[in-house]
Chains A and B, each alone.
Chain A
Amino acid sequence: MAAQHLMIINGNEFPFTPGETILDVARSHAIDIPTLCHLKDTMPTGACRICVVDVRGARNLLPACVTPAAADMIVQTESPAVVRARRLILQLLLSSGNHNCAVRGSDGQDWTSFQLAVHNDDGSSELCPVWGDCRLQDLAYRYQVSGERFASTEIAYPMETVNPFIVRDFSRCIQCGRCVQACNEIQVNNAIHVGYRGAKAKIIAAGDRPLKDSDCVFCGECVQACPVGALVEKDARYKVRPWTERKVRTTCSYCGVGCQMHLHVQENRVVKVSGVEARTPNFGSLCVKGRFGFDFIHAPQRLTVPLIRENGQFREAGWDEALDLVAERLGGIKQSHGPDSIGVLTSARITNEENYIANKFARAVLKTNNIDHCARL
């Protein structure tokens, strides 16, 4: 057996595989190191530094998401220096935009004027649209900090609301770059990048155009990757809150990739869709149809009662009447013209169970093999 590689985290010894980062090792042993910019399956950027840890012998704190694990390394993940550094980062982030979750005002007086300014920018009197579902808010709570240590910075760019699917709220962007990585490295749509370096930094599409006029294909990968309220589904904004919804895992009903998705349900309605992370075959990714094309479920045009044609017109009918009629007509045609005078078109849209039943229905009940579906078409 090859010699085991070992390192020490918070006083305990753990094995690791060369190539793993400190973060990888910690996570695989259920040690929680907070991250903001880190995005699985992409090249780490080390942009946010919230993941810094104390490595004995190192001159500075080191970001766990980019620092490779090494033999005999001794790491502290929550030392006083680490906590101080994280608090500072969080305070800077919180003061850099419209982060009007309650935490922001927990230790100050000008909460009201700040809220009013944010409400003005938002065009809404509600707290942040992702209140309760925000990594920054989580961390502010965990490390008990607010944004008031530093003066709020000017909001440099107005909100972009001109496309049908995604609201880009630059006032809440923390420049973590996850959206850029999601777009370029996960979906490889190459639609957005970091523009205007320095204080003016902004995530832009080519030529700083709105997404709708760019290469963006509205897959929403960036929305799912954004840790804060800077990218939010337009239809779900303010309407869907984590404590009012229920998530049901299912499979997309559009193409044959079979992406795994969560339907977010509120009052018996699907109000949002998100990809199921870390599960095959899509690992959280979806496309525009899967993520945003769910309105048909509750469309007013849905059929709700059986219809029977009478004198060239449809009239509504009860199930019993409609089913009796179908059974009687099919039975009659089978009797007088033989089973092969009837055909069944089953469907690439319905379930396996239903296709199986259609196959049994055609063969065992109608006694014909005239069954097909439209996949050829």
Chain B
Amino acid sequence: MTTTIGDIEDAEVILVTGSNTTENHPVLSRHVKRAVAFKGAKLILVDPRRIKLAQFAHLWLRQNLGTDVAWLNGMMHVIISEDLYDRDFVESRTEGFEEMKKMVEKFTPEFVEQITGVPAADLAAAARLYAGAKAASILYCMGITQHTHGTDNVKSLANLAMLCGHMGKPGGGVNPLRGQNNVQGACDMGGLPNVYSGYQAVSDLAIAKKMEEAWGVKDLPTKPGLTVTQMVPKAHEGELKALYIIGENPLVSDPDLNHAEESLKHLDFLVVQDIFLTETAELADVVLPAKSFAEKDGTFSNTERRVQRIRKAVDPPGQAKDDWEILCEVATRMGFEMRYESSEEIFDELARVTPSYSGISYGRIEKDGLHWPCPTPEHPGTPILHREQFTRGKGLFHAIDYTPPAEQTDDEYPLYLTTGRVLYHYHTGTMTMKTEGLNERVPECFVEISPRDAALYELNDGEAVEIASRRGKIRARIQVSDKAVSGTVFIPFHFAKAAANRLTNAQLDPVSKIPEYKVCAVRLSRAA
């Protein structure tokens, strides 16, 4: 996030899109709901499903799946043509306005209505509301990023916020909500193919030299590596021989699972380090038992970039070890000595080589976490990013045209499928499904379908159906619900037995390499 969670309550207008906040970030959603219920904020919700937040929304735009660039360009069209944008901000802090302006010219509300299904008047009202606010906050999640044009979607959101000057102030910002507890930290710490910790580019020779000195090694690789969505096909082709997987279960979370499973089977050597024997671990050559968060010391970085402590509460089961300790043992056995006494010693090392974390220490975050960037021990941390200027100096507008999602419905696969999470489960369910009460609330996979579609396909609530896409099929029970929009069904992806990702499309966004989980074409039939 570019601002803080608590700041949401200071927003005059909140635009939520592609985030089922009350189910996926429940405690954050309370700030959205409080802002609306008690502080007079207005909520614009753009989401194809009638999620809980729709009850709180002043305007709910129900766009067709995968048409986000179109409604965003449409809002900017209205804001520019009605001269509602923040001229000072655009002139002093941004570049590329003219190109962007030219691009959005054709996106009249009427044109946008044809693409998105959002009534022209609602779009214009949303544009006026967002632009008219003193501070407006945008919250988004996977519903924006998990598309073949997810990067375009994110850039379009940034365009909108810059256009109205809603950046770098309390109650403003463009705020991605991180799905998993430490996604932020995994990225911050160099769990990415192109950067070391602190987003220091591997291709930058000065950085490579610095890391070589810090680590006492020579010849660090300078060519960016493969993303996870590239590793899988490379494994299939036999170019990738070995994979070391830590605490992840791609065999439920990967797109086009059938293909992913094949690919992992092609590997010469697979190591999985986890707390459970997951679907992925079942395929491994060696499985290493790791500690859970309750058995560890360390830090997580939350979605607002706040670095917070975790502390050991109980002993690990059996011989389970810290993930860092296992890696250090392997490294040492491979001839590269890595030894640490504690997670704090590792933290102190990473703070030395990571400028944005340099001022943080366990001592400073004993009571409350600190927001990075925090470059020095005296620095108070940075709750709000881009206050004075953007990282690159001036904010750059991107002129982005609309392109439809990679897969379209047809006679054979007449329905759209979108996937997501439910409140009571988490990711691939390996943790939540160990709690009986959570299973009692949501025991199994379901297909959420609108009453109209249910009638059309003559399906009843609770009935078992087969859902097929061009890539695979699964079985699940029908849940007739007015959350669903006609023409689109929703399936939660938590359940290994009926993994929604046997159906989803592995088509990637060209830049972010994120797969298009949020749109694919399916058909339903009564299970035999």
A268-285 CB mask vs B (1 if < 8 Å, else 0) is 111000000001111001
With an 8 A cutoff between CB atoms, is A85 at the interface?
A: no
Residues from chain B with a CB closer than 8 A to the CB of A201 are none
A319-352 CB mask vs B (1 if < 8 Å, else 0) is 1001111111111010001011111111111111
A70-108 CB mask vs B (1 if < 8 Å, else 0) is 000000000000000000000000000000000000000
- CB-CB contacts below 8 Å: B298-331 with A: 298-304, 306-315, 317-324, 326-331
Instruction: Decide if A371 touches B298 in the complex (CB within 8 Å).
Output: no
- CB-CB contacts below 8 Å: B374-422 with A: none
Instruction: Decide if B202 touches A369 in the complex (CB within 8 Å).
Output: yes
Residues from chain A with a CB closer than 8 A to the CB of B242 are 329-330, 333, 341-343
Instruction: Decide if B186 touches A188 in the complex (CB within 8 Å).
Output: no
Instruction: Decide if B327 touches A343 in the complex (CB within 8 Å).
Output: no
Distance (whole angstroms) from the CB of B27 to the closest CB of chain A: 5
Instruction: Decide if A352 touches B301 in the complex (CB within 8 Å).
Output: yes
A362-377 CB mask vs B (1 if < 8 Å, else 0) is 1111011111111111
Q: How far is the CA of A314 from the CA of B37 in the complex (A)?
A: 55
Task: Give the contacting residue for B296; candidates A293, A299, A346, A351; CB below 8 A.
Answer: A351
Closest chain B residue to A255, Cβ basis = B25
Given A218-B441, A304-B318, A356-B197, check contact A248 B346 (CB 8 Å). Answer: no
Q: How far is the CA of A356 from the CA of B298 in the complex (A)?
A: 11
Q: How far is the CA of A354 from the CA of B357 in the complex (A)?
A: 15
Residues from chain A with a CB closer than 8 A to the CB of B303 are 256-258
With an 8 A cutoff between CB atoms, is A292 at the interface?
A: yes
- CB-CB contacts below 8 Å: B183-235 with A: 183-194, 196-197, 202, 211, 215, 217, 219-221, 223-229, 231, 234-235
Residues from chain A with a CB closer than 8 A to the CB of B182 are 256, 347-352, 355
Instruction: Decide if B346 touches A363 in the complex (CB within 8 Å).
Output: no
Interface stretch, picked from B72-80, B107-115, B428-436, B462-470, is B428-436
Distance (whole angstroms) from the CB of B295 to the closest CB of chain A: 8
Instruction: Decide if A344 touches B246 in the complex (CB within 8 Å).
Output: yes
Interface size for A (C-beta < 8 A) is 108
Given A250-B310, A265-B314, check contact A374 B250 (CB 8 Å). Answer: yes
Instruction: Decide if B271 touches A326 in the complex (CB within 8 Å).
Output: yes
Distance (whole angstroms) from the CB of A210 to the closest CB of chain B: 13
Residues from chain B with a CB closer than 8 A to the CB of A268 are 314-315
Interface stretch, picked from A31-39, A144-152, A305-313, is A305-313
Q: How far is the CA of A306 from the CA of B289 in the complex (A)?
A: 6
- CB-CB contacts below 8 Å: B426-446 with A: 426, 430-432, 434-438, 440-441
Residues from chain A with a CB closer than 8 A to the CB of B38 are 185
With an 8 A cutoff between CB atoms, is B528 at the interface?
A: no
Instruction: Decide if A375 touches B298 in the complex (CB within 8 Å).
Output: no
With an 8 A cutoff between CB atoms, is A231 at the interface?
A: no
Task: Give the contacting residue for B228; candidates A295, A355, A374; CB below 8 A.
Answer: A374
Q: How far is the CA of A340 from the CA of B202 in the complex (A)?
A: 15
Distance (whole angstroms) from the CB of B86 to the closest CB of chain A: 29
Q: How far is the CA of A246 from the CA of B310 in the complex (A)?
A: 16
With an 8 A cutoff between CB atoms, is A360 at the interface?
A: yes
With an 8 A cutoff between CB atoms, is B487 at the interface?
A: no
Interface stretch, picked from B60-68, B129-137, B471-479, B507-515, is B507-515
Distance (whole angstroms) from the CB of A217 to the closest CB of chain B: 6
Q: How far is the CA of A164 from the CA of B312 in the complex (A)?
A: 27
**Residue of B250, B269, B349 with most chain A CB atoms under a 10 A cut-off:** B269
Task: Give the contacting residue for B424; candidates A185, A289, A330; CB below 8 A.
Answer: A289
Instruction: Decide if B241 touches A337 in the complex (CB within 8 Å).
Output: yes
Q: How far is the CA of A319 from the CA of B225 in the complex (A)?
A: 30
Instruction: Decide if A339 touches B221 in the complex (CB within 8 Å).
Output: yes
With an 8 A cutoff between CB atoms, is A153 at the interface?
A: no
Residues from chain A with a CB closer than 8 A to the CB of B197 are 356, 359
With an 8 A cutoff between CB atoms, is A199 at the interface?
A: no
Residues from chain B with a CB closer than 8 A to the CB of A345 are 228, 231, 243-246, 248, 250
**Residue of A186, A188, A325, A357 with most chain B CB atoms under a 10 A cut-off:** A357
Given A257-B28, A295-B436, A370-B231, check contact A324 B333 (CB 8 Å). Answer: yes
A224-260 CB mask vs B (1 if < 8 Å, else 0) is 0000000000100000000000001111111111111
Instruction: Decide if A357 touches B328 in the complex (CB within 8 Å).
Output: yes
Residues from chain B with a CB closer than 8 A to the CB of A354 are 246, 298, 322-324, 327
**Residue of A263, A287, A342, A355 with most chain B CB atoms under a 10 A cut-off:** A355
With an 8 A cutoff between CB atoms, is A2 at the interface?
A: no
Closest chain B residue to A253, Cβ basis = B293
Instruction: Decide if A255 touches B426 in the complex (CB within 8 Å).
Output: yes
Closest chain B residue to A338, Cβ basis = B241
Closest chain B residue to A287, Cβ basis = B26
Instruction: Decide if B6 touches A281 in the complex (CB within 8 Å).
Output: yes
With an 8 A cutoff between CB atoms, is A141 at the interface?
A: no
With an 8 A cutoff between CB atoms, is A142 at the interface?
A: no
With an 8 A cutoff between CB atoms, is B492 at the interface?
A: no
Task: Give the contacting residue for A357; candidates B24, B196, B338, B436; CB below 8 A.
Answer: B338
Q: How far is the CA of A39 from the CA of B193 in the complex (A)?
A: 48
Instruction: Decide if A347 touches B186 in the complex (CB within 8 Å).
Output: yes
Instruction: Decide if B193 touches A355 in the complex (CB within 8 Å).
Output: no
Q: How far is the CA of A290 from the CA of B293 in the complex (A)?
A: 12
Instruction: Decide if B244 touches A330 in the complex (CB within 8 Å).
Output: yes
Instruction: Decide if B327 touches A256 in the complex (CB within 8 Å).
Output: no
Residues from chain B with a CB closer than 8 A to the CB of A218 are 437, 441
Residues from chain B with a CB closer than 8 A to the CB of A319 are 319, 321, 329
With an 8 A cutoff between CB atoms, is B138 at the interface?
A: no
Closest chain A residue to B429, Cβ basis = A296
Given A348-B186, A372-B226, check contact A254 B181 (CB 8 Å). Answer: yes
Closest chain A residue to B177, Cβ basis = A256
Q: How far is the CA of A355 from the CA of B244 in the complex (A)?
A: 13
Q: How far is the CA of A341 from the CA of B254 in the complex (A)?
A: 21
Q: How far is the CA of A368 from the CA of B234 in the complex (A)?
A: 15
Closest chain B residue to A249, Cβ basis = B311
Interface stretch, picked from B153-161, B274-282, B453-461, is B274-282
Residues from chain B with a CB closer than 8 A to the CB of A165 are 437
Given A288-B423, A351-B296, A353-B298, check contact A371 B185 (CB 8 Å). Answer: no
**Residue of A293, A340, A363, A369 with most chain B CB atoms under a 10 A cut-off:** A369
With an 8 A cutoff between CB atoms, is A118 at the interface?
A: no
Q: How far is the CA of A350 from the CA of B292 in the complex (A)?
A: 8
Closest chain B residue to A328, Cβ basis = B333
Distance (whole angstroms) from the CB of A362 to the closest CB of chain B: 8
With an 8 A cutoff between CB atoms, is B294 at the interface?
A: yes
Instruction: Decide if B306 touches A281 in the complex (CB within 8 Å).
Output: yes
**Residue of B34, B217, B276, B334 with most chain A CB atoms under a 10 A cut-off:** B334
Q: How far is the CA of A280 from the CA of B371 in the complex (A)?
A: 12
Instruction: Decide if B215 touches A256 in the complex (CB within 8 Å).
Output: no
**Residue of A301, A308, A328, A343 with most chain B CB atoms under a 10 A cut-off:** A343
Instruction: Decide if A349 touches B30 in the complex (CB within 8 Å).
Output: no
Q: How far is the CA of A53 from the CA of B464 in the complex (A)?
A: 64
Distance (whole angstroms) from the CB of A97 to the closest CB of chain B: 27
With an 8 A cutoff between CB atoms, is B84 at the interface?
A: no
Residues from chain A with a CB closer than 8 A to the CB of B122 are none
Q: How far is the CA of A55 from the CA of B199 in the complex (A)?
A: 60
With an 8 A cutoff between CB atoms, is B449 at the interface?
A: no
With an 8 A cutoff between CB atoms, is B290 at the interface?
A: yes
Instruction: Decide if B275 touches A254 in the complex (CB within 8 Å).
Output: no
Task: Give the contacting residue for B181; candidates A258, A288, A330; CB below 8 A.
Answer: A258
Query: 12 interchain pairs (CB within 8 A)?
Result: A250-B293, A256-B184, A294-B435, A304-B319, A343-B242, A345-B228, A348-B183, A351-B324, A353-B299, A353-B346, A373-B183, A375-B183
Beyond the given pairs A250-B294, A270-B294, A354-B246, 20 more chain A to chain B contacts, judged by CB atoms under 8 angstroms and listed by A's residue number, are A251-B293, A251-B300, A256-B302, A258-B303, A288-B26, A292-B437, A292-B438, A297-B314, A302-B292, A324-B333, A348-B185, A350-B247, A351-B324, A356-B189, A356-B190, A357-B328, A358-B191, A360-B331, A372-B228, A376-B513
A interface, CB within 8 angstroms of B:
163-165, 185-188, 217-219, 234, 248-260, 263, 265, 268-270, 279-282, 285-290, 292-299, 301-309, 314, 319, 322-331, 333, 337, 339-365, 367-377
